[in-house]
Chains A and B, each alone.
Chain A
Amino acid sequence: MNRDELQEKIITILEDDFEFANPGLTDNLRDDHGFDSIDAIELLAKIETMLGFQLARAEKEKAMSIRTINDILDYIEAIQAAHPS
């Protein structure tokens, strides 16, 4: 999946499942959309489903530094690079 495809999928998830209104790529997820630690765990589960494999614990822990949608996309790209198959 290239970045544009990823972006479209993630924004759809955030709008449909997390009720984000007009999400911007650099919005602060917590301050602008009320995204909290419970949401982060739920989003990781959705990312696992989207990628088709389970993330390692260390990979999940890296997600805790995510602050924006751009961060989410960077994170997924890094995961994809680490799982070339």
Chain B
Amino acid sequence: MKRRVVITACSAITPIGYKPSDIIDSLLQGRSGVKPLRDDGLLTQHIHSRVFGTVDYPIDYGFTRKDTKTMGPVAFYACQVAKDVLAASGLEQEFITSGRLGVSFSSTHGSPTVQRNIYKTFFSKLPSEFSSIGAVDYLKSMVHTTAVNITRMFGITGRVIASSTACTTSSQSIGFGYEMVKYGMQDAMICGGADEYDTTTVAVFDNLLACSVAYNDRPECTPRPFDIKRDGLVVGEGAGAVLLEEYESAKRRGATILGEVIGFGCNNNGGDLILPNLDGITTTLRLALKDADIRPEDVDFVSAHATATKMGDVIEAQAIDAVYGDKPLVTGLKSYMGHTMGACGAIEMILTLYMMEQGFIAPTLNLESVDERCSMLNHVRNITRTETKIAAIQNFAFGGVNTCLLIANGRNAGV
């Protein structure tokens, strides 16, 4: 059984906005969501990188205590975007609780905020402080807290997949959700990822010399994917969710079709857990094309992973060149908001859907002078008005995990 899988709703909380109109406006205006790193009272004083992709606007969650008692900050993000996609989808409650809808959602490592509160107990000299570990702290902090808080809030009884693979968390979530629907295991899946404000992630990349440090006084000037003056990634926060549905049933119920997932490639480098791997990445891109049964020249736009690390961008450019040549437009969307970690694949897919729908492609922000080693690509340097029929969303993670999702414009679904 192989079924077509369409995207019928999406929502993203990002450093450049929450409402689609705000996000689109930020892309059109070249507005960055990178801000000074918030002080956590502990690690920030030791971290060299002082920038962060920041969600600094209020969000009206409207959750009750019944909902929130098992939720850390990351689950607030996750449940909010899941709530949005269910509301936009128009799915009947009977279907939502039928077992035919599943959830494929996760985060890099649950809720670091809650985990930090738990660890405080280790440093307490007062026995009474032991009770500061709450009975629900595990539920709030565990790796699959986002997925199961979504199931709990909406009474979803289908399958749960919680793929926590760092930067490929949500692209794997979408890919695995796509396969669930494609092969008939589920009729619909809520897919995505989220990550909350967390300085431990910044500290790790900082210690690896992979974080941006040269633009601390000008946060909006970093990250700079593919630029000669790039100096590393910027960690960020956010969430993204998409609803994937089997095409025939979506069409039957008159759902709005935003796009179609037509292919998914995923593999592992099988070796080094940190360094980007040209063979591994190139193979992933080709696996996705094979899964979609399309030619490289059919792809109009590549949303590059493009974290703005010195070697990562070069290796990715070589992979894109090897597979696609210079035909597709290429943008590194992290230039607008930093690296939202477990949420990045979903957010970058949603931004791509917005741009497809609006008929434009945003340029890579801060790309002033292309690194010669990345110059063989068709970089987007200005707002480009164009119809994108097929786009590739690429993400690569610590641990050597690579993903590529191929999506078709919603206007072409049903053709």
Contact = CB atoms under 8 A, between A and B. Distances in A.
B69 A54 contact: no
Interface residues of B, number: 12
Interface in A12-66: 18-19, 34, 38-39, 41-42, 45, 48-49, 54
Interface stretch (B113-121, B127-135, B401-409): B127-135
A48 B135 CA distance: 13
Given A38-B70, A54-B128, A45 B135 contact: yes
A53 B69 CA distance: 24
B63 to A, nearest CB: 11
Contacts, number: 25
B65 A48 contact: no
A45 B132 CA distance: 9
A24 to B, nearest CB: 19
A38 B69 contact: yes
- A interface: dominant SS: helix
Nearest to B69: A38
A48 B69 contact: no
Interface string B18-31: 00000000000000
Nearest to B66: A34
B134 A45 contact: yes
Interface in B126-154: 127-128, 131, 134-136, 139
Given A19-B64, A38-B70, A42-B69, A48 B136 contact: no
A54 B131 CA distance: 9
Contacts of B134: 42, 45
Interface residues of A, number: 11
A45 to B, nearest CB: 6
Contacts of A54: 127-128, 131
A39 B66 CA distance: 9
Contact of B131 (A19, A34, A49): A49
Interface in B47-80: 64-66, 69-70
B64 A48 contact: no
A61 to B, nearest CB: 14
Interface string B149-162: 00000000000000
Contacts of A34: 66
A41 B69 CA distance: 12
Contacts of A19: 64-66
A31 to B, nearest CB: 14
Given A38-B70, A39-B69, A45-B134, 7 more contacts: A19-B66, A38-B69, A38-B135, A38-B136, A41-B136, A45-B131, A48-B131
Interface of B: 64-66, 69-70, 127-128, 131, 134-136, 139
